[in-house]
Amino acid sequence: MLNINSKDMRYVHRETITRIQQKESSLGKNYWAVLACLPNRLNLVFPNEEGLPLNNSNMRRRHFEPALTEAGIGHIRFHDLRHTYASLLIEQGENIKYIQTQLGHSTPMVTLNIYTHLLKSTNQEAAIRLEKAIF
């Protein structure tokens, strides 16, 4: 755990800090370290100890897989988190343009082509109309 003080918290979104402060009393001071990292020269959200990008296999072996075990979740691929995120956004009825930008797809059509099977039938009909209008 990192020893992070309140000065370092200026790098965390204000809304997140408010939620953390509400939970902090029951979770202890080290909770801050889970959600924030010290500034680093590459401006990474999750750097390694030297402030450089995490090694993929080390991250999975040291952090991701133990977290899955601790949470009682079976084996999943790290990339499955991306699909889960997209699926939850679609289920909530979020705008496809918003989902496209969140996932970094080049166009909303890329997102629709990948996730159209998750859309309700009325949404699928609208997606087909959109595709016909674009192409």
List the alpha helices (DSSP H) in 1-135.
Answer: 14-27, 31-35, 56-59, 65-71, 80-91, 96-103, 108-115, 121-134
Share of the chain above pLDDT 90, in %: 20
pLDDT digits 0-9 by tens, 1-43: 333 444 444 444 455 555 555 555 555 555 545 555 677 788 8
The pTM for the full model equals 0.55
DSSP states of 108-131 as a string? HHHHHHHHGGGS-HHHHHHHHHHH
Share of the chain above pLDDT 70, in %: 69
